[in-house]
């Protein structure tokens, strides 16, 4: 196996979803290349040669370069997984996982991203913009409905879609918490995710760094 190289910033929930996949697959021969988002390293000419979009994570495997965490996770399971449990080859199961990956990209993470950029770009501490928060609240409600009929976000077994949505939620809850009584299914599912033996190891450090920044930037 060629040495895999992951360009990563642990403050990014997308990066942490890939790190969860790496841990779940027990992949060891991976070089982690730190990227400082707060210093704007993704905008450098050197980084843009690797990923013209200027985003992390980026995975290189020999001559292949992949960006977008969902694509990276699928690739890692397909190429290096000892089984396909996290991304089954069944067209039906894979379609369900893909649909939830798109839900993360287009609804949940997209809503989170608008808010976090608004908070971080403000020169002064600010209150949460309630108008900006509406799409995120709607995404929470949709996810609660989706979990009515399944144990995990894409079905009844753990998948890469759970990693993506769990890391996004771990971050977004710091400024728009889930509501007990209203989001009970999400809360139960998220508690289940935190019991994975590698979840805290992967998620906590980057998440804590984000929390420290939010203490300075977000008025409560």
Reply yes or no on whether the pLDDT at 82 is more than 90.
yes
Reply yes or no on whether the pLDDT at 140 is more than 80.
yes
Predicted TM-score of the model (pTM): 0.97
> What's the pLDDT at 2?
58
Q: What is the DSSP letter of 179?
A: -
CA-to-CA separations, 147 to 135, 142, 189, in angstroms, rounded? 18, 9, 8
pLDDT mean over 133-148: 99
Reply yes or no on whether the pLDDT at 144 is more than 80.
yes
pLDDT mean over 65-75: 98
> What's the pLDDT at 220?
80
pLDDT mean over 140-156: 99
Tens digits of per-residue pLDDT, 90-130? Answer: 999 999 999 999 999 999 999 999 999 999 999 999 999 99
């Amino acid at each position: 196996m060629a040495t895999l190289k992951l360009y990563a910033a642990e403050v990014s929930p997308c990066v942490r979803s890939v790190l969860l996949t790496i841990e779940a697959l027990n992949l060891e021969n991976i070089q982690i290349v730190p990227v400082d988002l707060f210093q704007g390293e993704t905008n450098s000419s050197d980084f843009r040669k690797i990923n013209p979009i200027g985003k992390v994570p980026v995975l290189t495997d020999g001559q292949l370069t992949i960006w977008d965490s969902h694509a990276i996770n699928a690739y890692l399971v397909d190429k290096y997984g000892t089984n396909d449990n996290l991304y089954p080859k069944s067209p039906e199961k894979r379609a369900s996982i893909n649909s939830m990956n798109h839900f993360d990209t287009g609804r949940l993470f997209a809503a989170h991203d608008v808010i976090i950029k608004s908070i971080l770009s403000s020169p002064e501490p600010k209150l949460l913009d309630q108008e900006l928060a509406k799409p995120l609240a709607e995404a929470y409600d949709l996810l609660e409905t989706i979990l009515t009929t399944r144990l995990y976000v894409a079905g009844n077994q753990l998948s890469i879609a759970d990693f993506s949505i769990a890391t996004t939620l771990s971050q977004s809850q710091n400024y728009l918490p889930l509501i007990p009584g209203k989001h009970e299914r999400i809360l139960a599912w998220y508690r289940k995710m935190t019991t994975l033996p590698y979840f805290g190891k992967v998620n906590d450090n980057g998440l804590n760094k984000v929390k420290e920044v939010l203490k300075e930037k977000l008025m409560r």
